[in-house]
Amino acid sequence: MRNRLVLASQSPRRAELLGQIGLPFDVYVTDVDETRLDNEPSEDYVRRLAQEKCLAGWQLSKADRPAAVIGADTIVLLGDEILGKPRGLNEGKAMLAKLAGNTHTVLSGVAVSNGQCLESTVVASAVTFTALSQHDIDAYSATGEGGDKAGSYGIQGIGGIFVERIEGSFSAVMGLPVQETEALLRTLNIDTWSMRSHG
């Protein structure tokens, strides 16, 4: 089973992205405390969570001897404020109102480990929202699409209609920067092309 990867995430978006780049993988869901440390910089926070999810995934899956484990985390930053997954409909609407007409930063951390080495990176992307009416916010919130997503929207779904401009990695905004993930795997000397051909 050394030719498979493990994705330490229950996110269907991350699974979709990893599948799109042709890599065979199994999913292991980890349980990591996502509490931010006191005075922890945003980039350090998202990198630490990606690393902790990766290491937790390794512990869960090591008996299967995966080629590597991938952990990831994504946060939305508006100024210095972190907008995580909304805790209910009203908080989700409040987040969308804050994002409307403004540019926010999406930080996506990704970490990979082969059991001996751990490599990680953080990718920053700038996303500009168009102005939103209260009807836009209410109608979108009613779809439920943003309920489990940082910032209360999904760029790959209906939420994409709010995005005026993006500077950076589209896949990172979705939750897994695929170019950087590939680069980290190669840093661990993983032959990703061979994995693709042998699936």
For 3, phi and psi rounded to 5 degrees? -90, 5
DSSP 168: S
Q: H helices within the chain, ranges in order? A: 12-20, 42-61, 89-99, 134-143, 170-174, 178-187, 192-198
Establish how many alpha carbons lie within 13 A of residue 126's alpha carbon, considering only the half-sphere containing its beta carbon.
6
Cβ-based neighbours of 94, under 8 Å, separated by 6 or more: none
What span, in angstroms and rounded, lies between the C-alpha atoms of 177 and 168? 10
Establish how many alpha carbons lie within 13 A of residue 142's alpha carbon, considering only the half-sphere containing its beta carbon.
6
What is the distance, to the nearest Å, from the Cα of residue 190 to the centroid of all Cα atoms in its chain? 22
Among 38, 44, 73, 80, which one carries the catalytic annotation? 73
Active-site annotation holds for 73: yes
- The answer to whether the CB of 76 falls within 8 A of the CB of 150 is yes
Q: Report the catalytic residues.
A: 73
